[in-house]
Amino acid sequence: MSCSVAFKRIYCRILVVLCLLSVFSCQTSNQYKGSSHSPSFGEVLHQEKYELVERERFYFVRFTSVENMARELDKAAPLEKFHAYTHNNLYWTYEHAQREGFCEVEDYQVRLTITYTLPKVSDDTTDSEVLEIWSDYYAKLLAHEHNHGEYGKIAAGRMVAVLENARDGSCKKLKISVKKEMNKVRKWHKQQHEIYDAETDHGFTEGVFLPLYPSNK
């Protein structure tokens, strides 16, 4: 085997390895870019790092007829004109320490409590047509409220990211920086609920409404 042939073979092998590494690098980069633009990116990345509590509160509604469902639900709802409500309570606390000329977050806790206030049909509502309409309506209503809950989960994930990346030359500056970033997350969280409800008309465009039937009276 001549030196020139051996060199060419080694060179070709090196090129193949470099090409494979280049393809892997591009795939990894594209996967990361796709994930970072996903609305649930923060949740997927940090879900195991914050405490999540989800609970449901119900109020009861009794339906007398298909024609009166919308009016009877409006009357029973605790919030005027809104049949359901999602409240996301975000809480965080942390401790910091000075090390090697930098102040960093030493320990932290992020907790998200989601409370869903939802309607529930009373046991004495037995009309089969009413229950069929209600089943379809309630599934869409619940999906809408769960989407509100998802914004809370994303916000909690972003808070985790803020605390894990907090680093400054002084602890005083770090505290100011963390507070500023947390306020940004809270503002974003509030705006997302408002935008979502505006775009869906509080779920109407997602089918969250009871059809109005003409009265037989």
Both 24 and 121 in one domain: the answer is no
| pTM: predicted TM-score of the whole model, two decimal places | 0.75
Q: Are residues 23 and 47 in the same domain?
A: no
Contacts of 188 (CB under 8 A, 6+ apart): 155, 158
Q: Answer whether residue 162 is part of any domain.
A: yes
Q: In this structure, is residue 64 part of a structural domain?
A: yes
Residues 116 and 193 in one domain: yes
Using pLDDT thresholds of 50, 70 and 90, give the confidence band for residue 216.
low
My answer on whether 86 and 186 are in the same domain is yes
Residue in 190, 200, 191, 46 with CA at minimum distance from that of residue 108: 46
Question: What six digits make up the tokens of 180?
Answer: 């500023």
Domain shared by 86 and 164, yes or no: yes
Could you give the residue ranges of the DSSP H alpha helices within 37-127?
Answer: 41-46, 69-76
Instruction: Note whether 4 and 102 are same-domain residues.
Output: no
pLDDT of 10 over the 50 cut = no
CA distances from 210 to 18, 38, 213, 215 (A): 61, 32, 9, 14
Q: How many separate domains does the chain show?
A: 2
Q: Report if residue 216 sits inside a domain.
A: no
Q: Both 29 and 64 in a single domain?
A: no
Q: Are residues 20 and 96 in the same domain?
A: no
- Whether residue 56 is contained in a domain is answered as yes
Contact by Cβ (8 Å): 203, 144: yes
Q: Do 24 and 43 sit in the same domain of this protein?
A: no
Q: What range does the domain containing 189 cover? A: 38-206
Is the residue at 112 inside a domain? yes
Query: Is the predicted pLDDT of residue 213 greater than 50, yes or no?
Result: yes
Same domain, 31 and 65: no
Same domain assignment for residues 7 and 107: no
> pLDDT by residue (tens digit) across 63-95?
999 999 999 999 999 887 799 999 999 999 999
Pair (16, 87) in one structural domain: no
Q: Is residue 145 part of a domain?
A: yes
User: What CA–CA distance (Å, rounded) separates 178 from 174?
Assistant: 6
- Cβ pair 49, 110 in contact under 8 A: yes
Residue 217 forms part of a structural domain: no
